[in-house]
Amino acid sequence: MAVYLEDRESDAPADPVSTAVHLQPTRRTGLAERFSPTDPKPGLELTRNPHVARFVRNRKFQFLLIVPNQVIFWTVIFVGIAGTAIPGLNFGAAITWYVWFCLVFVMMVVVGRAWCAMCPFGGFAEWIQRRTFWRRTQKTLGLGRKFPEPLARLGFMIPVVSFIVLTWIEEFFNIAGPGNPADTSWMVVGIVSSALIFFLVFERRTFCRYVCPLSTLIGTVGSMGSVAGFRTKDREVCLSCQTKDCMRGSEKGYGCPWYTWPGSADSNLSCGLCSECYKSCPEGNVGLFLQRPLTSVVAPRRRRADVAWGIAALWGLVLFQQFNATNVYASLDNWLNRHMAIPHYPNPVDYIGIIALGALLLAGVAWLISRGLGRRDLPETYRDSFVDRTSRFRAFFVPMAYGLIPVVGADYFARQLPKFFKHSARVVPAVAHIAGFMSASSPIYGFHILSNGWIVVVQVAVIIAGTAAAAWATWRIAGRELVPVSRNALGVRLTTLSVVLACGAAASVLYVLMHAAS
Q: Indicate the average pLDDT of the chain.
A: 88
Name 488's Cβ contacts closer than 8 Å, sequence gap at least 6. 373
Which among 502, 484, 473 is positioned nearest to 365, based on CA atoms?
502
DSSP, res 485? G
The ranges assigned to domains in the chain are: 54-133+140-220, 305-514
Which among 171, 145, 505, 494 is positioned nearest to 324, based on CA atoms?
171
What is the per-residue pLDDT across 470-494, written as a single tens digit (0 to 9) for each? 999 999 999 999 999 899 999 999 9
Residue type (1 letter), 40: P
Alpha helices in 266-424 (DSSP H): 276-280, 295-298, 305-323, 327-340, 348-373, 392-403, 405-423
Higher pLDDT, 419 or 1: 419
- Cα(259)–Cα(292) distance, rounded to whole angstroms? 25
What is the per-residue pLDDT across 360-417, written as a single tens digit (0 to 9) for each? 999 999 999 999 998 876 665 554 455 544 588 999 999 999 999 999 999 999 999 9
- Cα(450)–Cα(422) distance, rounded to whole angstroms? 7
- pLDDT band (50, 70, 90) for residue 10: very low
Which among 11, 47, 62 is positioned nearest to 32, based on CA atoms?
11
- Cα(136)–Cα(134) distance, rounded to whole angstroms? 7
Q: Which residues of 46-85 are buried (b: 16+ CB within 10 A; e: fewer)?
A: bbeeeeebeebeebebbbebbbebbeebeebbebbbebbe
- Cα(102)–Cα(376) distance, rounded to whole angstroms? 45
Element spanning 6, H or E: strand 2-6
Question: Average pLDDT for residues 290-314, to the nearest whole number?
Answer: 93
Q: Where are the beta strands (DSSP E) in 80-150?
A: none
Give the pLDDT of residue 48: 94
| Three-state SS letters, 305-342 | HHHHHHHHHHHHHHHHHHHCCCHHHHHHHHHHHHHHCC
